[in-house]
Amino acid sequence: MSRYAREFDTDWDTLDKDEATEHAYAIGVAERLGEYNREELERIYAEMTSAYQKSMVELAYDEGRNEAQAVAERGDADESAVWDELVTGETTYLDEDEPPTGGRDGLPEALEPSELLDRQAVDSTDRVDRPDFLDR
What pLDDT, in 10s, does the model give residues 9-50? 888 888 888 889 999 999 998 898 888 888 999 999 999 989
Q: pTM here? A: 0.63
What pLDDT, in 10s, does the model give residues 69-127? 888 887 766 777 777 778 887 545 556 666 666 655 566 666 666 777 666 666 667 77
DSSP line for 25-82: HHHHHHHHTT---HHHHHHHHHH--SHHHHHHHHHHHHHHHHHHHHHHHTSS--HHHH
- All structural domains of the chain with their residue ranges: 3-86
What pLDDT, in 10s, does the model give residues 39-85? 999 999 999 989 999 999 999 999 999 988 888 887 766 777 777 77
- The partner residues of 101 in beta bridges, in order of sequence, read 107
Q: CA-to-CA distance for 107 and 1, rounded, in angstroms?
A: 39
* Side chain identity, residue 115: E
